[in-house]
Every structure is written in C-alpha cells, then in structure tokens.
Amino acid sequence: MQLSEMKIIITGAGGGMGAYFATRIVEAGGQAAVCDLNEEGLTALSEACKDMPGKIHARVCDVSDEAAIGSFVDWSYEQMNGLNGLVNNAGLLRDGLLVKKDRKTGEILKMSKEQWQLVIDINLTGATLMVRDVVAKMLSEDQNPGVIINMSSLARHGNRGQSNYVAAKSALSANTVTWAREFGRFGIRVGAIAPGMIETPMTEGMNDKAREALVKMVPVGRVGQPKDIWQAVQFIIECDYFSGRTLDVDGGLSM
C-alpha cells in the first residue's frame, strides 16, 4: 500500500505522534480521519494540513465510549469515501505502584480500581473496539487490502509502577498476532509498534531527574522523536509482507 492511497483513521491525533502521523499521510496525498478529546489540537492540525495534497477530517471522539467509536468509524468512511487503515494511537498514563507502604506513616496504599480501569478503558478496550468496528466496516464495504497498526510500548515487557499500562500494551501486542491470523484471509494486515521513550506531551511532564536517568539508559543516548516512530508506521503501511509482529523502536532501551 502507498501513503497516497491511504484512507486511514488515526486516534489520539490532537498532538504528539498522532498529529505527526496524520500530517505525513496528508502531505503524501492520502486522507486521514483523526480524533481526540483535544478539540484545539484537532483544529490546529486541520489548519496545518489545509494546503497539503491530501485531506484531513477531524472530529472529537472519546475512544472509551463504544457508541462514539462506532459513530466515528461510520463518519470517517463517509468523509473519505472509503477506509483502508487504522493507527490505534490514543492512550494515557496513570502510573502508580499496585501496592505501596507510606515511608512516614506505614500506611498501606493500593492502586484504585478507577486508576486501573481508566487506562484499560482507553488503551485496551477502546483500541480493541476501534479495531473491531474498522474491520467490520472494511468487510461490509469490501474495502481491502487494509492495514491496522497498534501502538504498543516497550513497557509491555513489564515496568515498575505501570501495572495498568503494561497490561494494556502487552495485550495489544499479543492481539496483534491474534488479529493478523483472523483478518489475513480478508486481505487485512495487522502490525504493532512498541516505542521507547518518545518526545510527546505525555512524556514532557516527567520529573526531570527521572527523565535524565532514563535517557542515560538509552544506548543511542537520546529521547526518540515522533519521526522515528513514523518511519515504522510507514514501513508497516508500505510493506505488504509484514503482519502479526511488533516492531520495537526504542533506541535499544531495556527496562
């Protein structure tokens, strides 16, 4: 598949990597239907892409809402007059130890169910329902070939203080294999990308000391940029023999 042929949904595109991916698609002459809860970010993205060869279609969507996902997929198909791709990029962090002991008081503190559930609802359940509805739309409208790209994470191998995030991202990586096997007969490929530490609004809020310590662990000696991950996205879109695998793009970092 070529970038200029894409009619692709990109979630979490109000900034960061999602906005970068959408810009590159539209710049190449393709179409991108983008969503986020950040309406200002979507407006800025639309403005930035207005004079490019392709087209951007932006709409607010809560990917933790099943009905909103279905509505957005239908709308995207209508706006682009077709649908042949998805980048499951929307996500958030709510880090914390599952159980910890307060150093001063000795009080035992537990991760709340709400803290767990919010990450699962957006990073896993929402992503899964988006795949489900996009693939169903592709099949019902005979839109093939197609490509699905899930954004996993280096954290899928396990990382202290991220039980909720690890659970979501490891499940997405595993289901990339599952879905590649299920959808391959329909001409739909499924791949995943596992970024390491990437410069995004999500990572910009990190504690300076923690950030510096993490950068020192990266063999290439720097934080990744959205363009580094875009190269992996482009590869998966364009390589018709790639499916059912997760690409690690992490500068060699191990957690």
**Considering 20, 77, 165, 241, which one is annotated as catalytic?**
165
Pair 115, 157: CB distance under 8 Å: no
Residues 178 and 35: their CA atoms lie apart, in Å, by 26
Phi and psi at 51, nearest 5°, equal: -105, 15
Residues 54 and 3: their CA atoms lie apart, in Å, by 10
Cα torsion 55, 59, 63, 66: sign: negative
Residues 71 and 35: their CA atoms lie apart, in Å, by 12
Pair 220, 169: CB distance under 8 Å: no
165 a catalytic residue = yes
Q: How many CA atoms lie within 13 A of 151 on its CB side?
A: 26
User: Which residues participate in catalysis according to the annotation?
Assistant: 165
